Structures are given as C-alpha cells and as structure tokens.
C-alpha cells in the first residue's frame, strides 16, 4: 500500500487548486489550501503538512519569498516544497532549487508526470540505473544474456530532477533509448567520464539527447596533460573514426575539466579522486542527504605481497569510499586470473572485498567484468565474494547488477 501524505497548496488560482487537489487525492491523507501568499506561512505552521505545493508567481509575496520564509522555520525542517510555475526557464528552476525547493514542475501540469514527480520527491530516493557493466569490449551472445554484454555506463536520478551519467561505453545507447521513450525525460544532464579509454567514451555519439535542441548537457572528466576533455571527445568524432562530429550536436554541450576536487551541483556533492590506472582516471563519490554512492572504475588494487603495493594509496581510497551506501567498483578478475594480469590496471575480487569490508560500505556492486567471462563466471565471482565477506564477518552486502536494472537508495 502506498504511503499517504498531508498536502498544502498555495496558489492564487482557485480553479488550479481544485485541479491539483483532484490529482493528489490518491496520495493524500488531507489536502489544505490558501489563495493568499501572505497568510501561507501561518497556515502551514498551523497545519504541519508533509508537502507544500507552491505557485511561483503570485501577488503580494511570490513563491520564492514564501519558500525563503518556510526554510527559515526550524520546525519545518522536514517539509517538502514543490514549486509549480508557468515559467519553463532553466534560470527559474535553478533559482527555486537554490532557495530550497525539493522539486520544480512547469504548467500546464500533466497528470501522470505530476503524480510521478510528487511520489519521487516524497520518497526522496536516488535511482541508480545500470546500462553497461562490462569492461574493455562489449560481448553480445548467448553466454552474456543474464548480466548483459555492454560496456560501462550507469545513471543517477535524483528527486529534485538532477540527472548524472557515469561513462559512455556501449551501455549509454540503452540509456538513450530509455530516455527517448520517457515523456518526462530530463533536459539537463551531467556526464562524468572516468577516463578516455574507448570502452568508456566510444558510444557517446549514439546518445540521442546530444542532438536535441533545448537540452543542456555538460561533459566532465580529467584532462590528459595538454589534451582537454573536449579534444578527447572531439578526437574520436573527427571524421576518420566517426562520420559525425561534435558540431552536429544540437543540444547546448559544455565541457568541464576535473581534477581531485569537490564540487556542488544542485545541493549534491561530487568528490573526485585519482585512481591507480594507466593515464588520468577519476573515481567519484556522490553524496546527497547523507547517502553516498562511489563509482570506482578502472582501478588496480595490488595485493600486499606485491612490490607495487602502496599502503598510502589504499588508505586514501578506503577513506574516500568509507561507509558509502553503494560502492560500484572494478572487480574484473578472479584471484587466479589476476596472477597473469598484474599491472593491467584492474582489480581482483579478493582485494575488492577487503577494501569494501575495511571501508564498512553497505553495498558492494561488482562491475567492469572481463570480456572473457560468461554469465556463469560472473555468478561464480559473486559466490566467491560472498564467501570472502562471510569469512571476514562483514556486514557488507554484495550484488552483481544486470543491464537495465534500477536500484533505489
């Protein structure tokens, strides 16, 4: 049974209040309202709702002024506020989020989209989508139908509307198809590239939102000395390697160079760390309202008896992923396979399990599987990882995500 909430609507249009009230009925315990923005604060404090639906443009006080007053009330710290406005400009959406809105919906309001948006905001969950979990090469075929054969790509969708994509291997084509089928697909996205090896960028030209006018997409990642992220992306679409170049993008596409740093995007913290892999490769830690997701691929964890073992680096990485809700990490090899692949830039299951246990992560997601591994081999890696975690007495839960699988935290 779906949870029900107490709603309060602030809008100077009585007809619109009736419409929204009708939409909210299946989700509501109670629905209260006012057409006066000056009376709104007092009535909201009195009613103590779970969620306020607040019009942006009203006489007397506008929605942002009311929102600012609401956020100043300590007793309303847990209150969800959704701004509704006829203004579809990105400037106004960002301004509303900066003022503390939990969501922004434009008029005219589509019934299904409105209900789904309200549900998402009230649940306050991050959706983690897996679109490609392989490394090095895509491997279609009968032996890879369970877990999937596409290369690295995951997505994070946040209740406030922010949409992050990590890497653009062949899995990004599946994500593109999914987004194109959605009526409520995001128009603003951030694509975070871990590093420019081809299995992490070569399907970017097949991401259809890049060719849609009105979309706003920022591609972020590490430069390589004097080669910028823009030059690396453009280089694989220069006419020799691909018949379409970046000039064909109709969306507003920007590039951002990242180093080891921390940035804030719509109230979401994104922290980066250089990983142990050939060239510049970044790991990401994304934190939203005390929940953290770490994306650590590609990365080599040398065992302690290896001359290249770096205790300081392991300590840094352990701290970086410490107590994460989700750790998505390079787990390319079994311990036996790794003996012949030392120095290739990827990790074995035993070292990954040790990292997850030491860092006390809640969920370990095995990722970036070797192209020679069939479904049965990946399932065996999961069994091995669970066995090692059990021996350690670990509380970490281990999962192998499948293509098109979506988790929420």
Per-residue pLDDT for the chain (409 aa), expressed as one digit of tens each?
Answer: 788 999 999 999 999 999 999 999 999 999 999 999 999 999 999 999 999 999 999 888 889 999 999 999 999 989 999 999 988 887 888 899 889 999 999 888 889 889 988 999 999 999 999 999 999 999 999 999 999 999 999 999 999 889 999 999 999 999 999 999 988 888 899 999 999 998 999 999 999 999 999 999 999 999 887 889 888 888 888 877 788 888 889 999 999 999 999 999 988 999 999 999 998 999 999 999 899 999 999 999 999 999 999 999 999 999 999 999 999 999 999 999 999 999 999 999 999 999 999 999 999 999 999 999 999 999 999 999 999 999 999 999 999 999 999 999 9
- pLDDT computed for residue 233 by the predictor: 87
Q: Which two tokens stand for residue 76?
A: 């309303």
Distance (Å, whole) CA 73 – CA 210: 41
Residue 47, SS3? Answer: helix
- pLDDT computed for residue 400 by the predictor: 98
Strands (E), 224-350: 252-257, 262-265, 268-274, 282-288, 291-296, 326-330
- pLDDT computed for residue 374 by the predictor: 97
- pLDDT computed for residue 176 by the predictor: 98
Decide: 368 and 134 in contact? Cβ < 8 Å: yes
CB neighbours of 77 closer than 8 A, spacing ≥ 6?
A: none
Distance (Å, whole) CA 103 – CA 120: 10
Distance (Å, whole) CA 250 – CA 213: 5
Chain centre distance of CA 341: 31
Q: Which two tokens stand for residue 153?
A: 């790509």
CA atoms within 13 A on the CB side of 243: 0
Residue 208, SS3? Answer: helix
Decide: 51 and 159 in contact? Cβ < 8 Å: no
Residue with structure tokens 């679109």? Answer: 131
**Residue intervals in the chain for CATH 3.40.50.2300:** 5-123
Q: Which residues pair with 227 in a beta bridge?
A: 224
- pLDDT computed for residue 68 by the predictor: 94
Q: Tell me 93's DSSP state.
A: H
| 127-408: CATH topology | Metallo-beta-lactamase; Chain A (3.60.15)
- pLDDT computed for residue 311 by the predictor: 95
Distances (CA, A) of 29 to 51, 226, 235: 11, 59, 56
* 3-class SS shares of the chain: helix, strand, coil, % to 5: 35, 25, 40
Decide: 189 and 162 in contact? Cβ < 8 Å: no
Distance (Å, whole) CA 364 – CA 159: 23
Residue 267, SS3? Answer: coil
CATH numeric code, 5-123: 3.40.50.2300
Decide: 117 and 106 in contact? Cβ < 8 Å: no
The answer, yes or no, to whether the previous bond of 259 is cis (omega within 30 of 0) is no
Decide: 392 and 355 in contact? Cβ < 8 Å: no
**Residue intervals in the chain for CATH 3.60.15.10:** 127-408
Distance (Å, whole) CA 235 – CA 246: 9
For residue 140, count other CB atoms closer than 10 A to its CB. Answer: 11
Distances (CA, A) of 333 to 18, 82, 288, 309, 328: 59, 46, 31, 17, 15
Distances (CA, A) of 291 to 185, 286, 356, 408, 409: 24, 8, 16, 11, 8
Task: Look at the pTM and tell me if it is higher than 0.85.
Answer: yes
């Amino acid at each position: 049974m779906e949870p029900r909430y107490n709603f309060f609507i602030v809008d100077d249009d009585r007809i619109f209040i009736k419409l929204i009230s009708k939409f909210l009925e299946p989700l509501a315990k109670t629905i209260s309202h006012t057409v006066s923005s000056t009376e709104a604060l007092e009535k909201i404090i009195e009613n103590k709702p779970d969620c306020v639906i607040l019009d942006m443009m009203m006489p007397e006080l506008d929605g942002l002024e009311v929102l600012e007053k609401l956020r100043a009330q300590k007793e309303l710290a847990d209150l969800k506020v959704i701004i509704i406005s006829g203004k579809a400009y990105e400037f106004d959406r960002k301004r509303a989020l900066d003022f503390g809105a939990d969501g922004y919906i434009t008029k005219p309001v589509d019934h299904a989209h409105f209900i789904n948006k309200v549900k998402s905001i009230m649940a306050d969950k991050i959706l983690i989508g897996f679109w490609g979990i392989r490394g090095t090469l895509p491997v279609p075929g009968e032996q890879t139908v369970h877990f999937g054969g596409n290369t690295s790509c995951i997505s994070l969708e946040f209740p406030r509307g922010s949409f992050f994509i990590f890497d653009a291997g062949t899995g990004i084509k599946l994500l593109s198809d999914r987004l194109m089928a959605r009526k409520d697909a995001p128009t603003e996205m951030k694509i975070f590239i871990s590093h420019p090896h081809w299995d992490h960028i070569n399907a970017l030209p097949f991401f259809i939102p890049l060719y849609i006018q009105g979309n706003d997409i920022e591609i972020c990642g590490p430069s390589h000395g004097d080669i910028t992220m823009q030059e690396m992306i453009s280089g694989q679409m220069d006419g020799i390697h691909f018949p379409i170049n970046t000039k064909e993008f109709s969306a507003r596409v920007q590039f951002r160079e990242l180093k080891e740093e921390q940035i804030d995007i719509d109230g979401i913290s994104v922290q980066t760390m250089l990983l142990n892999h050939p060239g510049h490769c970044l790991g990401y830690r994304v934190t939203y309202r005390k929940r953290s997701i770490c994306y650590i691929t590609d990365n080599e964890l040398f065992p302690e008896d290896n001359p290249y073992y770096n205790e300081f680096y392991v300590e840094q990485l352990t701290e970086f992923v410490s107590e994460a809700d989700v750790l998505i990490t390079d787990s390319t090899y079994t311990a036996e396979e790794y003996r012949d692949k030392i120095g290739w830039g990827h990790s074995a299951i035993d070292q990954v399990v040790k990292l997850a246990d030491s860092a006390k992560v809640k969920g370990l997601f095995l990722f970036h599987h070797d192209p020679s591994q069939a479904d049965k081999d990946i399932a065996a890696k999961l069994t091995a990882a669970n066995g090692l975690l059990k021996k350690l007495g670990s509380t970490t839960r281990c999962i192998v995500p499948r293509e098109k699988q979506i988790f929420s935290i």
